[in-house]
Amino acid sequence: MMPYGMFFDPTYILVIIGLIISMAASGYVKSTFHKFDQVRSKNNVTGTQAANYILKSQNINDVGVVGIAGDLTDNYNPGRKMLSLSQSTAQSMSVAAISVAAHECGHAVQDAVGYAPLKIRAAIVPVANIGSTLSIPLILIGALISGQSGSLLINIGLLAFSMALLFQLVTLPVEFDASRRALKILSQGGLLTQEELPMARKVLFAAALTYVAAAVASFLQLLRLFLLFANRNDRR
C-alpha cells in the first residue's frame, strides 16, 4: 500500500479556501438581493425605467437599455454602448432591482467621463481571456516536458494566469466606483427614499464582495500553481 502522503497535496487547501470564499460571497449576494427584491420602491419605478431616467439625467444619449435572460446577469458593454438588464431587474419595482440598474448606469457614466480604470480593464480583456484559456494547458504541457522547454512553458502559463488575475484586480476599483456613483445618483435623483438608500447600499456592497472573492480565489489558485511548479523548475 502506498503511503497516504503520496496522494495528499497540501496546496489543495488553497483551492478549497478560495472555493469557500466564492460560495459564501455568491450566497450572500443572492440572499441580500432576494431580501430587498421583496421591498417595493415607494416611487413605483422599474429597473428599466430607473436606468433610462438615470442615463437621461446624466446627459448620456448614446446608450441603449435592453432586457436579457437570467438572474443577476446585468452588465454594461462599453464597446456596444449597451446596458443589459436581467429578468430579475428589468421589470421589477424593488429596491434591489433599482439599485442594480443604477450600478450598471454607473458604468455608463464611467464610460462617458473616460474613467481610467474602465479603459484599462477594457484594454486588457483580450489578454486576460487568452490567459485564462491557455494558462492551465501551458502549465500542464510544460510539466510533461523535461528541460528548459518545459520550464519555459510553465513560466509562460504562470504569466498568462497572472494576466487573468490582473484583470480581476483592475475590476475592483471599477465596480466599487460604479456603486459609489449609483448611490450618489439615487440619492440626488430621488429614485429611492432616504429610508431605501441604506437598503441599496447593502445590495451594492454584497454585489461588490463577489468581485473581491473572485480576485482572492484567483490569487490563491495562482499561489498554488506557483508553489507546485516553481519547485519543479528548481529540480530541473
Per-residue pLDDT at 231: 62
Could you tell me if 98 and 191 are in contact, meaning their C-beta atoms sit under 8 angstroms apart?
Answer: yes
Cα–Cα distance for residue pair 213/24, rounded to 1 Å: 9
Q: Residue 177: enclosing H or E segment and its boundaries?
A: helix 147-189
Q: What is the amino acid identity at position 43?
A: N
Give me the domain span that covers residue 174. 4-235
The pLDDT-based confidence of 169 (bands split at 50, 70, 90) is: very high
Query: Is residue 235 pLDDT above 80, yes or no?
Result: no
Cα–Cα distance for residue pair 160/51, rounded to 1 Å: 37
The distance between the two most distant Cα atoms of the chain, rounded to a whole number of Å, is: 72
Domain count, the chain: 1
Per-residue pLDDT at 5: 45
Cell numbers describing residue 219: 490569487
User: CA of 155: how far to CAs of 41, 142, 232, in Å?
Assistant: 52, 9, 11
- Say which residues have a Cβ less than 8 Å from residue 159's Cβ, sequence separation at least 6: 131
Annotation says 175 is catalytic: no
Cell numbers describing residue 167: 484583470
| Burial label, 85 (beta-carbon count in 10 A; 0-12, 13-18, 19+) | buried
Per-residue pLDDT at 207: 92
| Of 104, 175, 195, 196, catalytic | 104
pLDDT of 92-127, one tens digit each? Answer: 999 999 999 999 999 999 999 999 999 999 999 998
Share of the chain above pLDDT 70, in %: 94
The rounded mean pLDDT for the chain is: 90
Query: Is residue 1 pLDDT above 70, yes or no?
Result: no
* Closest CA relative to residue 34, chosen from 219, 188, 203: 203
When pLDDT is averaged across residues 44-69 and rounded to a whole number, the result is: 94
